[in-house]
Structures are given as structure tokens and as C-alpha cells.
Amino acid sequence: MYCKRCGAEIGEYDEFCKSCGARIYGADSSPRGVSVSRKSRLVTVLLAWFFGVFGIHRFYVGRWFSGILMILTLGGIGIWALVDFIVALCGDFKDSSGLKITVWLDEEV
């Protein structure tokens, strides 16, 4: 078997891909769940860097309410925007569903 996300070879009973960490669908073809967001980490990081004080990266990942708060506070006078940039760069930033944005490019998850 091969991982649908990264193409690495995986064992028949593996729950996660050892290469990319994606959750593997079971033999009964029912999804066990998706562990990472489909949003691009690269886009999130770039938006946070260039437009962080306006919260554009939060709108991109579906977090509308906090995006509006960032516009009103200019990204917490830059501090909130800087923290978001660092968190996104480290791969711990989450989308509106609570899934971590870890994939650098828009790949199939």
C-alpha cells in the first residue's frame, strides 16, 4: 500500500504514514479521520508575514471572527500578528475545524 498524500510505502495495518504523518484509511474503507488541514502552510505563512496585522491569514483558514478582531486591533498592534506568523511557521497554526496546517503546498490530503 502507498500513502495517498505523499506516495510513501506503508504497512497494511499502519494507522499513520511514517513519512508525512497522514492518517490512513482502514481496510473497511471507512475514514478514521483526517489529521491535518487541506490549507497550504506556505500560503498561511506568507499571508501572516505580509498581511498579518490585517488578519488576512485568518480569513484564509476560515477563522472569520478572529480575522475581524485582528483588523480592528491591527493585529494586536503587531504582537498578535507576529505570534501567528511564528506559530504558522512552526506548523502549529489551526484552521476553523481545529486541524493543524502542516502541508507546505496544496497537496492531496
* The predicted structure's pLDDT at residue 34: 55
Q: Does the pLDDT value for residue 88 go beyond 80?
A: yes
Q: Does the pLDDT value for residue 24 go beyond 90?
A: no
Residue 102 to residue 45: CA distance in whole angstroms: 11
C-alpha grid cell, residue 66: 478572529
Q: Does the pLDDT value for residue 38 go beyond 90?
A: no
Task: Categorize the per-residue pLDDT at 13 as very low, low, confident or very high, splitting at 50, 70 and 90.
Answer: confident
C-alpha grid cell, residue 48: 501572516
Contact 96, 61 (CB under 8 A): yes
SS3 9: strand
Q: Does the pLDDT value for residue 44 go beyond 90?
A: yes
Q: Does the pLDDT value for residue 49 go beyond 70?
A: yes
Q: Does the pLDDT value for residue 32 go beyond 70?
A: no
What residues does 100 pair with on adjacent strands?
Answer: 36, 94
